[in-house]
Homo-oligomer: A and B are copies of this chain.
């Protein structure tokens, strides 16, 4: 059994908890929290909840610690810190800062003989893998990534900070015509506006100026100004009834050519349609936790990403079984 610890019990931590239940070769040893452990009730009632201050002394009782904090402030500290004691997996997703995160984590992991798997999930993660496979198979071609339909937490938060807004949910939606243009093999150059639309469901405070809220959303730099944005004002009841889920998904496409005269077109398309973004992300993380454990057992150490993991290490099946059943 691979003994897993979870640090942080938000949506992602809960997703890891339920994913472990689907993998018979794993067991959840403890959930760690920065809060008072007494105040945290988890769904697997027989698993202890401990303070994060107990982590160093659990060094020999946990094979892989899964870090479920945020990329902005938690993971840049936690991943290098806990890589000193454990094999760790995180879902660090600030693309631009991955190189510096990698450096810090790699140093800690190498010095302490652990495996630290960073930026695991679907983007970065499975989408990155598909960009890589697409690029190596079709070196002359073009990459396209579309996100959605799904909830963007960052954009929803940006709307909630507007004066007069009580609550809000924002969906990122890929433009079907743009997807079709890519699938046609025409290798279009697509602007931000042509690729995605943003649909917002907003609950306004009583007496708020709806026109002003809509204008503020639609002209918000970086978040909305470059997109066609649709704003709906709805009631609090409607928001909680129809928009409480966290669906997401998207598409990675590689369109390229082969042949002595580049005369043959090829399209590789990978897509995800997810009812629960955090539970799917957690499911990817748990598979890479298995790989981290095995790679470390074989003496490997240091920071790794999905690019470094032989796919067979993700599966509980043996090489023979994989070749027989899945190849």
Seen from chain A, the residues whose Cβ lies within 8 Å of a Cβ on chain B are 15, 17-19, 21-23, 43, 95, 98-99, 102, 119, 124, 126, 128-133, 135-140, 183, 258-260, 263-276, 279-280, 282-284, 287, 290, 305-312, 314-315, 319-320, 322-324, 326-327
A314 in complex: contacting residue of B126, B128, B132, B314, CB < 8 Å = B132
- Docked complex Cα distance between A314 and B275 (Å): 32
- Docked complex Cα distance between A119 and B324 (Å): 12
A260 in complex: contacting residue of B43, B267, B273, B327, CB < 8 Å = B43
Whether B311 lies near A133 (C-beta < 8 A) is yes
Contacts of A308 in B (CB 8 A): 310-312, 319
Whether B22 lies near A258 (C-beta < 8 A) is yes
Whether B323 lies near A99 (C-beta < 8 A) is yes
A102-B323, A269-B273, A308-B312 known; 13 other A-B pairs, CB under 8 Å?
A: A18-B260, A22-B139, A22-B258, A98-B327, A126-B133, A126-B268, A129-B311, A132-B322, A136-B315, A137-B287, A258-B282, A266-B273, A266-B274
Main secondary structure of the interface of A (DSSP, over half): helix
- Docked complex Cα distance between A258 and B17 (Å): 11
Copies of the chain in the assembly: 2
Instruction: Write the chain B residue with the least CB distance to A126.
Output: B133
- Docked complex Cα distance between A305 and B318 (Å): 13
Whether B279 lies near A259 (C-beta < 8 A) is yes
Q: A314-B132, A326-B131 are in contact. Are A258 and B271 (CB under 8 A)?
A: no
Whether B283 lies near A137 (C-beta < 8 A) is yes
CB distance from A302 to the nearest CB of B (A): 11
- Docked complex Cα distance between A131 and B325 (Å): 10
Instruction: Write the chain B residue with the least CB distance to A129.
Output: B311
Q: A270-B270, A279-B258, A309-B310 are in contact. Are A320 and B99 (CB under 8 A)?
A: yes
Q: A258-B19, A274-B266, A284-B137 are in contact. Are A307 and B279 (CB under 8 A)?
A: no
Whether B135 lies near A326 (C-beta < 8 A) is yes
- Docked complex Cα distance between A273 and B283 (Å): 29
